Amino acid sequence: MLKKFFVICLAVTFLIGCADTKEVKKEVGKKAMVANKATKGAQGSSSIFLDDFDTGEKPNKMGGDSGTWNKDAEDLTQGCVMSFDGITRYGEKGFSLKLDYDVDSPNAAYCGYWSKLEGKNLSKCKSLVFYAKGDDTEGYTTKFTIELKGAKQSSKYTVTGLNNSWKIFRIPLSEFKEIKDWASMKEFVITFDDITVTNKQGGIYIDEIYFSE
């Protein structure tokens, strides 16, 4: 009888111990998410950050350059301009990336943003993750294209469903079907083109771009 009692006591103590450990783990996980700078998530998986824009300047978090590109610099009716925004941002401090685009032109029009991946090995990563929202005042497209460029292949994916509040987008890397080799990645590109966009002129905000395992 006494033996049985001890066994029960032991089991209860063990269970309480386990619950405590879980609580601590949960708390640590939460803090990592809030800080968002941590490379280790709650489950011990890593994220490779491209950029959080929080320095408000170049380079990106991989040490690479970034900028905007235009189909035709001579055509002043179209183009894309980037800036760092300290007011509309994801998170409590720092900046977001603001892209103002215009593909309303009598000519074929496309433009966008690029950021260098500096030969990063993304073989172990499963998704491309970022936060985005449209600019209510200027108007915005709910659709745009993301392109990833590797050493040999590049591939495009159309992002849909952008709205006027911050939203997380999680794109499985398997959606970038043409890329077979992720070992030495070159570039992340956003494209606004006059056929894909739902609004030919406007502004969108992007923040916290990273690749998750």
Q: Closer CB to Ca ion, residue 30 or residue 37?
A: 37
Query: Does 134 engage in binding with Ca ion (CB under 5 A)?
Result: no
Q: Which of 47, 51, 53, 82 binds Ca ion (CB under 5 A)?
A: 53
Query: Does 52 engage in binding with Ca ion (CB under 5 A)?
Result: yes
In the complex, the smallest distance separating the C-beta of residue 42 from Ca ion, rounded to whole angstroms, is 21
Q: Which of 85, 100, 193, 207 binds Ca ion (CB under 5 A)?
A: 207
Give the amino acid at 84.
F
In the complex, the smallest distance separating the C-beta of residue 135 from Ca ion, rounded to whole angstroms, is 16
| Residue number with the smallest Cβ distance to Ca ion | 104
User: By rule CB under 5 A, what string of x and - marks binding of each residue 91-130 to Ca ion?
Assistant: ---x-------x-x--------------------------
Q: Closer CB to Ca ion, residue 175 or residue 194?
A: 194
User: By rule CB under 5 A, what string of x and - marks binding of each residue 151-190 to Ca ion?
Assistant: ----------------------------------------
**Secondary structure of the chain in HEC code, one letter for each residue:** CHHHHHHHHHHHHHHHHHHHHHHHHHHHHHHHHHHCCCCECCCCCEEEEEECCCCCCCCCCCCCCEEEEECCCCCCCCEEEEEEECCCCCCCCCCEEEEEEECCCCCCCEEEEEEEEEEECCCCCCEEEEEEEECCCCCCCCCEEEEEECCCCEEEEEECCCCCCCEEEEEEHHHCCCCCCCCCEEEEEEEEECCCCCCCEEEEEEEEEEEEC
Contacts to Ca ion by CB under 5 A: 52-54, 77, 89, 94, 102, 104, 207
